[in-house]
Amino acid sequence: MFGKKFRNLVPVIQIFRHNHGVPFAPNGRAFPISGVSTPKFVSADEAIAEIQSGAHIYIHGHAATPTEITDALCDRAATKDYKYNFHHIILSGKVRWAQPEFYGKIRSNCLFICGGMRQAVLDGAADYTPVFLVDIPKIFYDRVVPLDYAIVSVSPPDEHGYCSLGVDVDCTSAAVNSAKHLIGLVNPSMPRTFGDATIHASQFKAMVETDREIYCKGVPESIGEAEQQIGRLIAENLVDNGATLQLGIGGIPDSTLNSMRDHKDLGIHTELICDGILDLLEANVINNTKKAFMPGKSVASFAYGSRRFFDFVHNNPSFHFASCGWTNHPDIIRRNSKMTAINACIEVDLTGQVVSDSIGEKFYSGFGGQVDFITNACNGYDGKGKSILAMTSRTEKGRAKIVPTLSKGAGVVCTRAHSHYIVTEHGIASLFGKSARQRAYEMIKIAHPDDRASLEAAAFERLRVMPSPNF
Which residues are tagged catalytic?
Answer: 271
Q: SS3 of 355, please? A: strand
Q: Cα(177)–Cα(332) distance, rounded to whole angstroms?
A: 21
| 469 and 422 Cβ atoms separated by less than 8 Å | no
Vertex 126: Cα angle to 125 and 129 (nearest 5): 150
Vertex 266: Cα angle to 271 and 282 (nearest 5): 95
What DSSP state is assigned to residue 31?
Answer: S
Q: Pairing state of beta strands 386-390 and 421-424?
A: parallel
Q: SS3 of 183, please? A: strand
| 83 and 234 Cβ atoms separated by less than 8 Å | no
Backbone angles phi, psi at 178, to 5 degrees: -110, -30
Q: Cα(442)–Cα(145) distance, rounded to whole angstroms?
A: 43
**CA–CA distance from 65 to each of 59, 169, 298, 341, 438 (Å)?**
7, 12, 23, 27, 46
Q: Cα(122)–Cα(456) distance, rounded to whole angstroms?
A: 35
- 144 Cβ neighbours under 8 A, 6+ residues apart: 138
Q: Cα(123)–Cα(470) distance, rounded to whole angstroms?
A: 48
